Amino acid sequence: MAATVLMVASAAILFTFGLLHLVYTFSGSKLSPRDPALRTRMTEVSPVITRESTMWRCWVGFNVTHSMALMLFGLIYGFLAIAHSSLLFASPYLLVVGLLTLGALVALAKAYFFSIPFRGAAIALVCYLASVIASMR
């Protein structure tokens, strides 16, 4: 039971961060540059890889896909913990994939983001590890 609760907590943290990120992407200015001129330039300049988009459209797309990935992790691991915990906790593959994903998120949040996403990812990782350890008992 403790393993399931901890896994659901880990999944819920990532899902919540993903959902908030998605909301912030499409409403308000939390993910916009502080300098309005930079946003204007981002809508005018295309990346080197293609002229079919702008840096602003890429920025929005990257934020949306980032949100979707966090929510997908939360939905899949939360569902597995609740509905198929024996499968999840008996699968080294699923447990390693989850661990590597969370470890990478913590490292990326530390290197490229700010304290709130870093702390959230770190707490999710701790809950995940505690869940795996609790499942072994």
At 30 the pLDDT is 95
pTM for this entry: 0.94
Enclosing domain of residue 119: 2-135
Low-confidence ranges of the chain (pLDDT < 50): none
Total number of domains constituting the chain:
1
Single-letter code of the amino acid located at 42: M
Instruction: Give residue-wise pLDDT tens across range 62-97.
Output: 999 999 999 999 999 999 999 999 999 999 999 999
